[in-house]
Amino acid sequence: MLSREAINAYCKSLPQSTHVVQWGNADVWKLGGKVFAICGWSDGNSAVTFKVSELAFEILSDMPGMRPAPYLASRGMKWIQVYDDPGLPDTELMAHLDASYEMIKAKLTKMLRSELGLI
């Protein structure tokens, strides 16, 4: 899995993404005030959490090193946490971070997307 620094650098590179530290020193990445990725710790190990489609949730939930994201998935939201090896290859992880970002972008109002220069 990518390092926490690499995940943060990648999320920072996405247009108009913002960063805050919340929830016990987790790096929380947002677009338009909405979370698209969380990079933090799980049982002392690095972990990354992101939004997924319903189909991706079904597939990824059962893969080794991944699980429905604690707290978020228990509320019916489709979020996955990569918390252990083998997890995902780096390119697949970045593709899922992109997809999470795009899902959040699609839910922003047209006005907000325009204000952020995302249209």
pLDDT tens digits for 27-85?
A: 999 999 999 999 987 666 779 999 999 999 999 999 999 999 988 877 778 999 999 88
- Tokens, residue 118: 């995302």
SS3 content of the chain, % helix, strand, coil (to 5): 35, 30, 35
pLDDT of residue 69: 92
pTM given for the model: 0.92
Q: What is the mean pLDDT of the chain?
A: 92
Of the chain, the end-to-end C-alpha distance in Å amounts to 32
Q: Round to whole Å and give the CA distance between 98 and 52.
A: 10
pLDDT of residue 30: 98
Percent of the chain with pLDDT over 90: 78
Number of domains comprising the chain:
1
Q: Domain residues for 29?
A: 4-115
The answer to whether 35 and 76 are in contact (CB under 8 A) is: no
pLDDT of residue 67: 95
CATH number of residue 17's parent domain: 3.90.1150.30
